[in-house]
Amino acid sequence: MEVIVPFSTDRPKSRLSGVLSTDERRAFARAMLDDVLDAVAAAGGDPRVLATGPVDVDRPVTVDDRPLTDAVNAVLDARLGADGEDGAETVGSTDPVAVAMADLALATPAALDRLFAAGRDADVAVAPGRGGGTNAFVASHPEFRVDYHGASYLDHREVAAEIGADFAAVDSHRLGTDVDEPDDLAEVLIHGEGRAATWLRRAGFVLDASDGRVTVARE
């Protein structure tokens, strides 16, 4: 299964600017990207990076500097179906295509395999994020398109209903945890098994439960 992994090269993980420098955010984002690509490949997927700028990885890379929604929909147009010049729909491949965000630092082959299996059974399968976003999905319905603004999981569920697509939700802590805020780093230190967790530890981050809740501190 082809798996598109969107990756921002221009402003990587800007919401971590309070705890990481620009260079550190760039290195940490790259570590997470590599973890996701490895997990996708180990799950039997064919990972392809969709980046806002050039990135040196041992995987196919497409550069598209448009907003995320536009860039992903261009991929879906090409893979699943697009409107021809006369307005008629031209149907692409019936094989499902997946999209998994590059900041899913907890993703494992087993978690992705669950998503892929759900996407083979349903027209659209979505792994929602903790805040109602869409962290990963598989789609085979030619009319399915994305809108990543706001609580996009709810929007995508509604889109599936409007086009008559079978919909499956994949409840997964590992796929539901995207790393955007400083508090998310604790999840990586607790559950992470790859490069991103190793990078944080080498950078001096440790778990801190001194105030009664688990956060991170830097030594």
Can you give the pLDDT at residue 210? 86
Asked if residue 34 belongs to a domain, the reply is yes
**Gap between the Cα atoms of 179 and 169, Å rounded:** 20
**Gap between the Cα atoms of 131 and 62, Å rounded:** 28
Q: Which amino acid is at 157?
A: R
Domain harbouring 22, CATH code:
3.90.550.10
For residue 17, the enclosing domain spans 2-180
Q: What is the pLDDT of residues 3-28, one digit of tens each?
A: 999 999 988 899 999 999 999 999 99
Q: pLDDT band for position 213 (50/70/90)?
A: confident
Separation in Å, CA 211 to CA 133, 172, 181, 208, 216: 29, 28, 19, 8, 11
Asked if residue 49 belongs to a domain, the reply is yes
Which two tokens mark 145? 């398109």
| Mean pLDDT of the region 34-56 | 98
Packing angle between helix 184-191 and helix 195-202, nearest 10 degrees? 110
Asked if residue 73 belongs to a domain, the reply is yes
Asked if residue 189 belongs to a domain, the reply is no
The tally of domains found in the chain comes to: 1
Q: pLDDT band for position 93 (50/70/90)?
A: low
Asked if residue 174 belongs to a domain, the reply is yes
Can you give the pLDDT at residue 85? 42
Asked if residue 58 belongs to a domain, the reply is yes
Asked if residue 185 belongs to a domain, the reply is no
Can you give the pLDDT at residue 207? 94
Mean pLDDT of the chain, nearest integer: 93
Q: What is the pLDDT of residues 140-182, one digit of tens each?
A: 999 999 999 889 999 999 999 999 999 999 999 999 999 999 9
Q: Is the pLDDT of residue 90 over 90?
A: no
Asked if residue 191 belongs to a domain, the reply is no
